[in-house]
Amino acid sequence: MNKGKFYITTAIPYVNAAPHIGFALEAVQGDVMARYSRQKGVDTYLLTGADENSLKNVKAAEEAGVSTQHLCDTYAKEFADLKSILNFSYNYFFRSSSKKNHWPGVQKLWKLAEKDIFKKPYKGLYCVGCELFYTKNELIDGKCPEHKTKVELVSEENYFFKLSKYESQLKELIKSDELKIVPQERKNEVLGFINQGLEDFSISRSVKRAKGWGVEVPGDSKQIMYVWFDALGIYLTGIGYGTDEKKFKKWWPANIHLIGKGILRFHAVYWPAILLSAGLPLPKSIYVHGYLTVEGEKISKSVGNVTHPNELVDKYGRDPVRYFLLKDIPFGNDGDFSIERFEEVYNADLANGLGNLVSRVSKLLEINNVDAGSIKRTTKKFSPELEHAIENLKFNEALNFIWENIRAVDLYIEKERPWEISDLGIKVVLETLVNRIEEIAFDLKPFLPETSEKITKQFSGPKIKSEKPLFPRIK
Ligand SMILES: [Zn+2]
């Protein structure tokens, strides 16, 4: 991570329903990277927002009997509220229905790519859920492989983008890691997709099919941009493209696009091709996380296992939810959330591990009537192992390092037996303990910001006292 700047984006979710724990996973991962980078003193920008111009939103609004704008306003707010619910420290929550902030930039992008854009009549099988055309043999029993729903036969004249033209260039950029895709498995998947041959793809739809919702194609009021063309453009318009060139120049290219595996093709193939066509620099890397299931099942309304982060946070607190998502689901892998597993991890690592150590040490300091001001403090910084783990988004490994440290401090106490030593010797032991605890709080800051702050406050005195347990045991 260089000292210059760090621009990271989460995917920009459709806001046709309230956020569930699957998006919370991505939000928390992005948040750790942003907080870590800020803690290192790097100028940082974390972008998230709402992808509002999709047909999905139009359909959800029709079903709910409200206007599309009203539906977007309602759910966009719920996504934006993750700031306080999860301590999701985004710099900007961008909404693509904003004509003022979004349209000028994506229309500019379209015009710059115009040499690769052409119009042709087209017939295809479309899944509104995916906002994607499928070929017949990609379908399973004639249905969308992702949603298991019927696809629509669409027949109209649309604008197309010459994706095929960029096939070999994309392959080279990805192979050489100039556009880095992590993990390796996802990189291979993209290369495999490109190797099958890239086809030009439709980037607009008729105003009628779009129901008048979305960004107008420049110079053709009868066509609306394909939602992915405008949604990917949020990564540019969200930092001022088309409205604030100075801001845009400061932040682009993105250091990391953080996404789920389901939208890899759009980010690793369509998006860089559009940027190449427009003559804009490519993002540096795309990090791809897996899917989260709940109690072993795909998260879905029909299964009835949709878990909302606010409900968990109300019951267990913010940091335990963050901890579970970061610790129990190694980046890039699929993972499962269940209350049973959650409570098991909570009790073992938070109530017993961290919480127990903090209360043990603070009691020792209280008994010995220690003035916080009399303790000589060491300078705190991240260890190279921890930095390496975080910078590669290996959050579970990073947390393992911190918990090894927690265990080491416990062992230190067992070895030194401070309750048995004389006045003179105990000062050194207590000073060591305060510094070790503060080191742990420092390392935890990107992961568990609230807990880190509580510990730091507790140990900054004036007297260091024991307080209520940080994480009461769940029975
Ligand atoms: Zn689908």
User: Would you give per-residue pLDDT tens digits along the chain (475 residues)?
Assistant: 556 999 999 999 989 889 999 999 999 999 999 999 999 999 999 999 999 999 889 999 999 999 999 999 999 999 999 999 999 999 999 999 999 999 999 999 999 999 999 999 989 999 988 888 898 889 999 999 888 899 999 999 999 999 999 999 999 999 999 999 999 999 999 999 999 999 999 999 999 999 999 999 999 999 999 989 999 999 999 999 999 999 999 999 999 999 999 999 999 999 999 999 999 999 999 999 999 999 999 888 778 889 999 999 999 999 999 999 999 999 999 999 999 999 999 999 999 999 999 999 999 999 999 999 999 999 999 999 999 999 999 999 999 999 999 999 999 999 999 988 877 789 999 999 999 999 999 999 999 999 999 999 999 989 999 999 999 999 9
CATH (domain of 428)? 1.10.730.10
**258 part of a folded domain:** no
Distance 14 CA to ligand 1 centre (A): 14
**424 part of a folded domain:** yes
Distance 126 CA to ligand 1 centre (A): 8
Distance 8 CA to ligand 1 centre (A): 27
Distance 144 CA to ligand 1 centre (A): 5
Tokens 């993972």 found at: 335
Tokens 């995916």 found at: 130
Q: Domain range spanning residue 465?
A: 339-475
Dist CA 363 CA 100 (whole Å)? 57
Distance 205 CA to ligand 1 centre (A): 18
Distance 134 CA to ligand 1 centre (A): 9
Distance 212 CA to ligand 1 centre (A): 22
- pLDDT of res. 192: 97
**3 part of a folded domain:** no
- pLDDT of res. 110: 98
**307 part of a folded domain:** no
- pLDDT of res. 378: 96
Distance 291 CA to ligand 1 centre (A): 16
Distance 421 CA to ligand 1 centre (A): 67
**421 part of a folded domain:** yes
Burial of 220-245, coded b for 16+ CB within 10 Å and e otherwise, reads eeebbbbbbbbbbbbbbbbbbbbbee
Distance 442 CA to ligand 1 centre (A): 43
CB-based burial of residue 332 (10 Å sphere; 0-12 exposed, 13-18 middle, 19+ buried)? middle
- pLDDT of res. 301: 79
Distance 403 CA to ligand 1 centre (A): 41
Distance 266 CA to ligand 1 centre (A): 14
Report how far Cα 102 is from the mean position of its chain's Cα atoms.
21
Total of domains in the chain: 1
Distance 406 CA to ligand 1 centre (A): 45
- pLDDT of res. 3: 65
Dist CA 369 CA 164 (whole Å)? 73
Dist CA 372 CA 384 (whole Å)? 29
- Main-chain dihedrals φ then ψ at residue 209, nearest 5 degrees: -65, -35
**348 part of a folded domain:** yes
Distance 273 CA to ligand 1 centre (A): 23
Distance 130 CA to ligand 1 centre (A): 4
Distance 186 CA to ligand 1 centre (A): 20
Distance 60 CA to ligand 1 centre (A): 15
Distance 242 CA to ligand 1 centre (A): 32
Distance 135 CA to ligand 1 centre (A): 12
Distance 184 CA to ligand 1 centre (A): 25
Distance 324 CA to ligand 1 centre (A): 29
Distance 153 CA to ligand 1 centre (A): 13
- Three-state SS string over 336-389 comes to EECHHHHHHHHHHHHHHHHHHHHHHHHHHHHHCCCEHHHCCCCCCCCCHHHHHH
Distance 145 CA to ligand 1 centre (A): 7
**365 part of a folded domain:** yes
pTM summary value: 0.95
Distance 90 CA to ligand 1 centre (A): 29
**86 part of a folded domain:** no
Distance 193 CA to ligand 1 centre (A): 18
- pLDDT of res. 2: 55
Distance 64 CA to ligand 1 centre (A): 21
- Sign of torsion, CA 295 292 34 15? negative
Dist CA 302 CA 325 (whole Å)? 24
Distance 151 CA to ligand 1 centre (A): 8
Distance 404 CA to ligand 1 centre (A): 43
Distance 173 CA to ligand 1 centre (A): 29
